[in-house]
A and B are shown apart, each in its own frame.
Chain A
């Protein structure tokens, strides 16, 4: 076979409507430049020494940043295992998990409600869900500062009608952080669940009622399995970015409890330890990937129908 023939053969063999390999090249370059390259830089930085004054890196290899992840020289001078970063990461994961679950509990009824509206309403409602994206997250988080304030509308209303003697401190608490996180990520849960729910054949729900199922049973045994791809996508879309949240703990949590992103940001700022910041990022990256793999394994094990393919293609 001569080499000049090869492309012709390929073209003949290609299916109609299938673009050539080169058609994907711009996208691929884009992906590499914008996704892969920064990751590679972070991984490289995590194996370098600090620059002279701590801002930037020195191009000599070291694993010190990874040692610092787990060991610290105590103030009395001895090196010992120090789980502080792991604790903060675990704490972040807990916040993210709670956020994901609260978002889930809120999104399922909302998404199903939207999916059961007449078609012309659905478009408008989905549009409404995306409205928060019109303004920056910073502004929206500040808005919660105002809402949750001791002198804010919630406390104002509760004290105003006499339900409370004194305002409940809500701002600068873990509660406020969670509220902020749930608020930020709710659309990321609603939209994929809605996408699944919209495809759901509600005649199946009727069939289940007909067979004697109550509302709750229908929701749990018929609707939930059908919207599972959306639920899983939503959980991933909420949990992972929530893990990297910076604003909510900073502005709403009052800065008293760090999440891992705050610690990483500090390393690139006042703490002047870029390699440690990079190593922390790599740790988050690895754990995120482990979570994704765990999700994939769990769903593969428990689902053997077509839904799986959807999820796999998503992952």
Chain B
């Protein structure tokens, strides 16, 4: 991320009229720097504006205000066909009347490349996505995964400055999706093209992105490497949307953070060096795997439910009126039977105060 920005998005706003005559603000002053050669993921639930941003970058929508630069050149007033940006569409949008090879060649023909060069690039693109022997097929004769790879090859053959991927894997089944995720990572590494991928699937975002930008209602609420976003969610929304989180309401006063049923959790919730929270109500987020349970007849919690899934024990524990999700691995977990009393605590430094 030390490299220069491939994309620089500054305060982009976009509104759409609603059928009822009102307005919907799809993008609300969104800013984002996408480093050259990075794999950036725009993550958020549907309708959060992430796809609109992607379309603004591609040129299929034009922002109401704000600026988009591609490699230092302003592009938001450049027509779509002149932008050195290409898109892999959610629907793949392969041309049904053309063969696979013709689909890939189409974009190259638009660049008026010589025939021989087009042929060579089409061959290379097909090879890159491992479809060399299917060049003469029609899209309708391909499986969903194959179509997906043709769409990729078609966009990559243009060697864009930035490749935009709009929910490219959402139509694939789970197994295929995992494979394609790896494939996309590989392609990104091999081509060193900047990838910007839109998804609503946080696992996908976590596993693929160098950088994740989390969208909520037309705004980017947090940007950072996946690990950082996971470990240190900035807002209640991010904590909840990415992974699982127990959100506990409490109050901060004079360096203490009191949560009913838990007492002061300031030690666990404060990462080293961070300033104490302002006095007032707070929300503390704790990941299920960071909740520590110790069998204790005088404990503050009661086991409500316990299930083995995979190698983990998934436990529901009640503390007062609050229900917490807990994931426990390793030994000792067999003692956590339903109805057992436990002492509920947090791993040190694992709780986070989040913005509401």
Contacts and interface: CB of A to CB of B under 8 A. Distances in A.
B86 A210 contact: yes
Contact of B60 (A201, A209, A217, A307): A209
A305 B110 contact: no
Interface string B71-111: 00000000011100111010101111100000000110011
Contacts of A210: 58-60, 80-81, 85-87, 155
B138 A305 contact: yes
Contacts, number: 64
B171 to A, nearest CB: 13
Interface residues of B, number: 25
B154 interface: yes
Given A204-B95, A206-B89, A211 B60 contact: no
Given A212-B107, A213-B81, A307 B93 contact: no
Interface stretch (A108-116, A221-229, A249-257, A264-272): A221-229
A203 B86 CA distance: 14
Contacts of B59: 209-210
B158 interface: yes
A223 B87 CA distance: 19
A213 B110 contact: yes
A206 B60 contact: yes
B113 to A, nearest CB: 11
Given A305-B96, A305-B97, A305-B140, A211 B91 contact: no
Contact of A203 (B91, B106, B138, B140): B91
A211 B140 contact: no
Contacts of B96: 204, 226, 305-306
Nearest to A207: B93
A212 B60 contact: no
A208 interface: yes
Nearest to B58: A210
A175 to B, nearest CB: 37
Nearest to A304: B138
A222 B95 contact: yes
A217 B154 CA distance: 17
Nearest to B55: A206
A307 B158 contact: no
A208 B95 contact: yes
A12 B36 CA distance: 66
A231 B80 CA distance: 28
A151 interface: no
Contacts of B81: 209-214
A46 to B, nearest CB: 43
- Among A206, A211, A306, max chain B CB count under 10 A is at A211
Contacts of B111: 212
Interface of B: 58-60, 80-82, 85-87, 89, 91, 93-97, 106-107, 110-111, 138, 140, 154-155, 158
23 contacts: A204-B93, A204-B95, A207-B93, A208-B95, A209-B60, A209-B80, A210-B80, A210-B85, A210-B86, A210-B87, A211-B107, A211-B110, A211-B155, A212-B81, A212-B111, A212-B158, A213-B106, A214-B81, A222-B95, A225-B95, A226-B97, A306-B140, A307-B97
Given A210-B87, A210-B155, 9 more contacts: A201-B93, A203-B91, A208-B106, A211-B110, A213-B106, A214-B81, A225-B95, A226-B97, A306-B96
Nearest first, the 7 closest Cβ-Cβ pairs linking A and B are A212-B110, A211-B107, A207-B93, A225-B97, A209-B80, A203-B93, A212-B81
Interface of A: 201, 203-204, 206-214, 217, 221-222, 225-226, 303, 305-307
